[in-house]
Amino acid sequence: MASPSRQAPVIIITGTPGTGKSTHAQMLADESPIPLKHINVGEWVKERGLYEDFDQEWQSYTVDEDKLLDELEPVVAEGGIILDWHTCEIFPERWADLVVVLRCDHTRLWERLEKRGYPLKKIEENNEAEIMQVVLEEARSSYPAEIVVELKSEGTEDLEANVERMVEWITLWRKDHGEEV
């Protein structure tokens, strides 16, 4: 369970690459009724050197998970954070107040990843992961069912509805934690 002393929640927004995590996280940070800091974990890893090496075949960094968690721990302890990453299972259960798993139709996802210039092998792997609900299953096996929410992310209407839903959740969280709304 998350720390009861936090003044603001910790929200994890996760999903297969291309599902709209960063867009959702930034829009939520902008529209939240309380200040929330958006941390794009992939960018954080690169900026702070929290990786072991760069995998040429997959065109991605091999994250040093211990270093990453050590860097994030004090930031997360304060609350008021949106963690945006393609995986969530490495984050301790006690960190999360809400885990949002974004889902996207695999043909639309394929198109998004092609536009990003991903290598075919990486597009195929991510598309298969989306079809097999890999990230959703990770979230469900890592956190209590009541804090894991699956949301469709296929266009602007979904984005706006999802952010509105998360803003409502933040309002309720504040009320439940004795904050003035």
Binding residues: 18, 20-23, 116
Q: Which residues contact 91 (CB under 8 A, 6 or more apart)?
A: 12, 69, 72, 83, 142
Q: At what angle are helices 65-78 and 41-48 packed, to 10 degrees?
A: 120
Both tokens of 36, joined, read: 């929330």
Order of strands, sheet of 81-85, starting from the edge strand that comes earlier in the sequence: 37-40, 81-85, 10-15, 98-103, 148-152
Q: Which residues are annotated as a binding site for ATP?
A: 18, 20-23, 116
Q: What backbone torsions phi and psi does residue 132 show, to the nearest 5 degrees?
A: -85, 0
175-180, Cβ contacts within 8 angstroms, sequence gap of 24 or more: 177/4, 177/6, 179/7, 179/34
- State whether the Cα torsion 86-89-93-95 is positive or negative: negative
Q: Which residues contact 80 (CB under 8 A, 6 or more apart)?
A: 6, 7, 8, 9, 10, 34, 35, 36, 37
